[in-house]
């Protein structure tokens, strides 16, 4: 009978994944289903380039699988995944020069969504590119990945207070950049 892996805890899934039997594939799939959206959101918003984000995103899960099979450090799964993603993204950004896409201004508008939200989202995405990376990353980890301040602090290697401060400062800067738009929105 097929197991319902969605009820399993992360630890149990990791145990199955390491067991190297037929169930390990199902366990990996369940972990992927649980956390792929967060990892993808992190990669895409940190790199702000879909193609690069796709490459890093796949690499994150491949490395995760390899690490788990080899020697999984006892930690929480989403945090571990984001750490891998962060390392890969930082390495990638370090190796890569500043990139400016002259015509890369396509606006992604999901037809099923509120247009105003899409427009605001586009502005937020643009604003994220204009703020310092440390603030941007903290904001993404908090708002996109819903990590706690403790987790953010651990991933970024900073104190919890510092993590809170970075998230708040990021929000302030984003609001500052979006101020004209937000004012218009409030007056509607």
Partner 1 sequence: MEYTKIIHDFIDGNLDAGQEQELFYNLSSSDELRTELKQQIAIKEAIKGDSRAFTPPASSTIGLFSSLGFNPPSSNVETTPVPGNSGLMNFLSKYRQGLIGGVIATMVTASLLFFFSNPFGKEENPIHNDFATSVQPKGTVAGQSNVPKIESYSNNEQVKVRYITKVRYIDVPRYVDKTYAEATESKQDETASNQLDNITKSRPWGILKPMLTSGGQERIYPDLTSVPQTNLLPSLFIPGNPLGMSVEFRGSQNWNMPSETIYPQKLSKFDNLALAVYYDFTPDFSAGLEVRQETFFQKFQGIKDGERYQYQQQPNFTSYGLNLRYILPFDMWGIEPFGQISGGFTSAGYIARGMAGLKYSPYKDISFILGGEYSRLEYKHQGSPYNANKFGLIYGVMFNF
> Could you say whether residue 22 binds partner 1 (CB under 8 A)?
no
Shortest reach from residue 144's CB to partner 1, in Å:
6
How far apart are the C-alpha atoms of 161 and 150, rounded to whole Å? 9
> Could you say whether residue 165 binds partner 1 (CB under 8 A)?
no
Q: Which of 10, 23, 54, 134 binds partner 1 (CB under 8 A)?
A: 54
Q: Are 156 and 138 in contact (CB under 8 A)?
A: yes
> Could you say whether residue 51 binds partner 1 (CB under 8 A)?
yes
> Could you say whether residue 97 binds partner 1 (CB under 8 A)?
yes
Give the dihedral sign, CA 40/43/48/51.
Answer: negative
Q: Are 165 and 173 in contact (CB under 8 A)?
A: no
- Give the closest residue to 94 by CA, choosing from 140, 158, 47: 47
Shortest reach from residue 102's CB to partner 1, in Å:
5
How far apart are the C-alpha atoms of 154 and 157, rounded to whole Å? 5
Shortest reach from residue 71's CB to partner 1, in Å:
18
How is residue 13 annotated by DSSP? Answer: H
Q: Which residues bind partner 1 (CB under 8 A)?
A: 25, 28-29, 32-33, 36-41, 44-45, 49-51, 54, 57-58, 61-62, 65, 96-106, 108, 110, 113-114, 117-118, 120-121, 124-125, 143-144, 168, 171-172, 174-175, 178, 182, 185-186
């Amino acid at each position: 009978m097929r197991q319902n892996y969605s009820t399993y805890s992360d630890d149990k899934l990791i145990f199955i994944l390491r067991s190297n039997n037929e169930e390990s594939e199902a366990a990996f799939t369940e972990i992927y289903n649980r956390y792929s959206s967060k990892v993808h959101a992190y990669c895409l918003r940190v790199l702000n380039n879909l193609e690069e984000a796709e490459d890093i995103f796949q690499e994150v899960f491949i490395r995760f699988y390899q690490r788990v099979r080899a020697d999984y450090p006892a930690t929480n799964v989403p945090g571990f995944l984001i750490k891998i993603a962060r390392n890969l993204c930082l390495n990638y950004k370090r190796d890569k020069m500043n990139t400016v896409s002259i015509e890369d201004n396509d606006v992604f508008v999901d037809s099923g969504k509120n247009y105003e939200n899409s427009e605001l989202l586009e502005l937020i995405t643009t604003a994220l590119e204009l703020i310092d990376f440390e603030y941007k990353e903290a904001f993404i980890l908090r708002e996109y990945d819903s990590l706690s301040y403790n987790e953010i602090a651990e991933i970024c290697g900073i104190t919890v207070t510092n993590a809170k401060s970075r998230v708040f400062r990021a929000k302030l800067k984003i609001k500052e950049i979006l101020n004209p738009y937000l004012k218009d929105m409030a007056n509607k």
